[in-house]
Amino acid sequence: MKPCLIAFDMDGTLLNEKKNISFRTKRYLKKLSKQGHKIVLASGRPSRALIRYYNELKLDTPMICYNGANVFSPNDPNFKPIEFEFPKETVVEIIEKIRPHIKNVMCEDEHNIWVDKKDDYLDKFFWYEGMNVVFGELKDTLNKNPMTCIVQTPFEYRDTKELEKIMESYPKLCARFWTGSPYFEIYFKGISKGSSLKVIAEYYNIPIERVIAFGDAENDREMFEFAGISIAMSNGKESLKNAAKHVSIKDNNHNGIYHTLKHILKDLEASN
């Protein structure tokens, strides 16, 4: 079978509720890699939160971090890294405009984290361990261009139009709330898991019809728009299921990747 490019979101997709890749899924993905398929991890998280899983799967492909703002391959020096940074002055300006609504805000680059105050949720999600963590308001502390910016507001702020109006002043930037969450992220227009997946597909010369993407939330939508075959997890958001070509046979806690991907590849092989 000709090689496929198979991309996986992490939380709620490749990882179960214990934040592990199941033994059956791990074994199957290693087998696919040996057969020549390209396995790619795609997450809103930083590389330090992915490297454990990358190594477990013994990958040599690029990984997509920060929803596409950072893409690189730890094991392939020929792949040209992608890095997007926000101008620190712009980040501070946006934050100060919504300061009355902010409960917490976090920015980071590869070595530093700037955060208003301790946040166990963000700490667990972004893995602060080993990073230089600076506490305090960004207008006083942010001294480098960050690669990500996450903001926590009161939950009801999601339903106002204030943030949309503020972001209209920054034509290159957008803001997106995490599904069902009071946290939102600032990101570059046109930079996404999908745009990064396109670059990787071109690097390996794999056509769109053999690009497969799995996800569970709104930040996976651009991957689905690019991929020839898109699969929303059965435990995922309904809005994403409506945007996908398929829904996984089982959820992320019951080897949904293994069962669904096996079926998809069998059908793909039969159609060739």
Ordered mean pLDDT values, 10 residues apiece, the chain (272 residues): 95 95 97 97 92 97 95 96 94 95 92 91 79 94 94 89 92 88 91 97 98 95 97 94 96 97 91 76
Q: What is the pLDDT of residue 28?
A: 98
Q: What is the pLDDT of residue 127?
A: 77
Q: What is the pLDDT of residue 269?
A: 85
Q: What is the pLDDT of residue 54?
A: 98
Among 69, 81, 96, 89, residue whose Cα is nearest residue 185? 69
The C-alpha atoms of residue 45 and residue 144 are separated, in whole angstroms, by 19
Q: What is the pLDDT of residue 63?
A: 98
Q: What is the pLDDT of residue 1?
A: 80
The answer to whether 114 and 142 have CB atoms below 8 angstroms apart is yes
Q: What's domain 88-188's architecture?
A: 2-Layer Sandwich (3.30)
Q: What is the pLDDT of residue 193?
A: 97
Q: What is the pLDDT of residue 223?
A: 97
> CA 194 → CA 148, 225, 234, 242, distances in Å?
17, 7, 21, 17
The reply to whether 5-82+191-271 and 88-188 are identical in fold is: no
Give residue limits of the domains in the chain: 5-82+191-271, 88-188
> CA 245 → CA 5, 182, 258, 264, distances in Å?
16, 29, 17, 11
* Amino acid occupying residue 110: E
Q: What is the pLDDT of residue 178?
A: 84
Among 39, 10, 31, residue whose Cα is nearest residue 212? 39
Say whether 106 sits in a helix, a strand or coil. strand
What CATH number labels 5-82+191-271? Answer: 3.40.50.1000
